[in-house]
Structure 1
């Protein structure tokens, strides 16, 4: 369940299409240059029945080879709510915070203290938040409620900087019960993706639906900016237990289509898609998929994100049993600081 905002220089050209029509992806030429200022990757994950935030650092500038930090112990242990955090997402500051602030947000859920049915009916309606100015010191822990009492839970929060609005678009998955069912004992709505905007991860606008494919249950959204107001988004069909992708060439609220076909999927029996660009190979992206019934995250890759085609990557350098999280490309200064602190 879980977007790292990557402030990179992107160059692209897009075929303009009317909002009512599906974009012609065959005419959409994406060219993204590699960024020599980025020399590594920081990954944040949780580990199965251990609902804390664990840090992993890439081996050099290899996007799919990681080592544990802090001697395998968590870097962040939540103290509020259920005292358990899942689906951590690391978010780079946007706007005036670019390059000097980062956030980690996550799901308030300790399954060891509840069960899956209760967690969805009367689970936490808040988002865990921590912030840092150096990727080393994480402070300001807070649990911010974003949904009202009709919601059963708030799962897999993540965010992306919306340049046009000048705020962070934050999204998560929730299901809802009638106001008359205050105990949430009846039948809920389908799970849908909700969104809001914030400038500081302290105050949020009233949430609204972002993706509602009822009666299909949708969770675990992650979004990759492609440049020129184009985006690829990845989500889990919780009903079919599959992950699929959609692409928009006209904005975060534009026309979204599945590039490989209306029923195309990337993989089944997976969740928690986490996507990020490669630092060295132009146009190449990486996608982590959590095989939740097996050994956790496995890496996939694509050199044509808008095609919807992804292939399994070499797993020899990727640790097993990492669960839903995110990856942030970082520069040499941050890489050295993180390594010196925890390696």
Structure 2
């Protein structure tokens, strides 16, 4: 999700001065935590995206088990379009069910924004306070569209929502980016706060806990958070990728102490994966242990481009641009879900 703003050099200086450069070994990450995800039961990948000026949900299916070669489903037409809110959805992310819903339910959530009907300034001041939700029990039929309000009236917007099952809580942790205005400024004409990452918990994507702040790097603006579990669903180790909107860069942090533990930016506060990008989307390789794929949205150019790494906790020097021979152009901020052979065949039969 693009958020136009001025570069805040002072924030970068302050952040860098207080950060430590820490080697990967000091994080306590062993081979079992990184080299773990390859799974012979997984036979492909489902990509969920929006396309530039078309703020709808599009599905792309991998060509076999190739993680960086995809074809459009439904003859390139949207799988569905929102009927509520602004009538547009950006940043769609697919959320696999957790707990008792694991393997039985999936959700797609996204930003309620059709930029063709507004401006970027208005979208940040008086934008939607809700997130779109759809749900499915088979990844084919998507039902129960809803627009759920998650922030109060002091928020200027709710952008790029994502969710992850938190085994420590037994609920889904849902997070998004918002900036806030004074309660004495109901029209939001004044100066807002920096953009922060907010979160709430839910069991059903209908009712949510009171939102709280998850990441606040003021005066730096932080948006487009995505979290990738390490090892397995019960592990306390995670990678989280996000965009420094002030400098237009994407970087990764690592925690071995849970979603609310201590996070480390390997390489220090100035270490990045790439600049001029947004909307990071990370997913494990199905066949190569320890390999992670990362999509970065070159929003001023051709959209998503794939990267890969076997040291995904690293920033500078840790990632390599993948081949784009089979990669479609124009894909924008979304997500990728590894799927088994039965699901791949079902998706291909329905929309291939």
TM-score of the two chains, using structure 1 as the length reference: 0.93
Displacement of 1:25 in angstroms is 2.8
Within 2, Cα distance between the matches of 1:33 and 1:156? 26
1:15-62 CA deviation, whole Å, 9 max, x = no partner? Answer: xxxxxx998631421331410000000000000000000000000000
Structure 2 equivalent of residue 197 of structure 1: 201
Which of 204, 215, 219 is the matching residue for 1:215? 219
Structure 1 residue 312 corresponds to structure 2 residue 289:
no
Within 1, Cα distance between the matches of 2:59 and 2:165? 23
Within 1, Cα distance between the matches of 2:174 and 2:23? 28
Structure 2 equivalent of residue 338 of structure 1: 347
Structure 1 equivalent of residue 269 of structure 2: 262
Within 2, Cα distance between the matches of 1:332 and 1:53? 23
1:267-282 aligned at under 5 Å gives the runs: 267-282=274-289
1:208-238 CA deviation, whole Å, 9 max, x = no partner? Answer: 0000000000000000101331111000011
CA contact (8 A) 1:22 1:255 kept: no
CA contact (8 A) 2:23 2:266 kept: no
Within 2, Cα distance between the matches of 1:85 and 1:307? 32
Which of 63, 70, 73 is the matching residue for 1:66? 70
Within 1, Cα distance between the matches of 2:22 and 2:278? 27
Within 2, Cα distance between the matches of 1:238 and 1:150? 21
Which of 229, 239, 244 is the matching residue for 1:232? 239
Displacement of 1:268 in angstroms is 0.6
Structure 2 equivalent of residue 206 of structure 1: 210
1:114-153 aligned at under 5 Å gives the runs: 114-153=118-157
Within 1, Cα distance between the matches of 2:23 and 2:301? 37
Displacement of 1:164 in angstroms is 1.1
Displacement of 1:304 in angstroms is 1.1
Larger mean CA deviation between 22-31 and 279-288 belongs to 22-31
Within 2, Cα distance between the matches of 1:54 and 1:33? 26
CA contact (8 A) 1:46 1:54 kept: yes
Secondary structure of 2:324's counterpart equals coil
TM-score of the two chains, using structure 2 as the length reference: 0.90
Structure 1 residue 323 corresponds to structure 2 residue 332:
yes
Secondary structure of 2:313's counterpart equals helix
Secondary structure of 1:336's counterpart equals helix
What is the number of residues matched between the two proteins? 325
1:59-103 CA deviation, whole Å, 9 max, x = no partner? Answer: 000001000000000001000000000000001000000001000
RMSD over aligned CA atoms reads 1.3
1:234-259 CA deviation, whole Å, 9 max, x = no partner? Answer: 00011101101111111101111111
* Structure 1 portions without partners, runs of 5+: 3-20
Within 1, Cα distance between the matches of 2:141 and 2:176? 26
